[in-house]
Amino acid sequence: MEEKEIQALVLKEFDDEVNLRPLNGFKLDFSANPGFKKIFFSASCDCGTAALLSLEISENKTDDEIVDALPSLVERIEMQEKSFRRMDCSMHSMMRTGSIPDNVS
């Protein structure tokens, strides 16, 4: 399964109140973690801060295993989104360029 197919599956599973934008064709490799597929979402706040949220899925996982893992992938990215929302905007301005990494192996 391609990154963008996984991303589309994750996107479909989001709760209505989750406000994340899929980032496509994002080629920068922040974690330099070989053997993982990476999918990226962006969360943004009214103050103009955007956070990069990412999921990593082992290349070794089969399509079936990815589908099985989907609920936990969705949960992880939603938790990253919630922690971004929980911060106030002074925190946001401090992390303007930061990212909230997460790993799924």
Judged by the rule CB under 5 A, the positions of this chain that interact with Zn ion are 45, 47, 49, 89, 92
Closest to Zn ion by CB, 47 vs 94, is 47
Q: Which is nearer to Zn ion, 47 or 67 (CB)?
A: 47
Select 89 or 94, whichever has its Cβ closest to Zn ion: 89
Cβ proximity of 61 and 6 under 8 Å = no
**DSSP, res 96:** T
Query: Edge to edge, what strands does the sheet with 20-23 contain?
Result: 20-23, 36-44, 50-58, 99-100
Cβ contact 52:23 at 8 Å: yes
Min dist. Cβ of residue 98 to Zn ion (A): 13
Q: How far is the CB of 15 from Zn ion (least distance, A)?
A: 20
Least separation in angstroms between CB 76 and Zn ion = 22
Q: Are strands 99-100 and 50-58 parallel, antiparallel or unpaired?
A: parallel
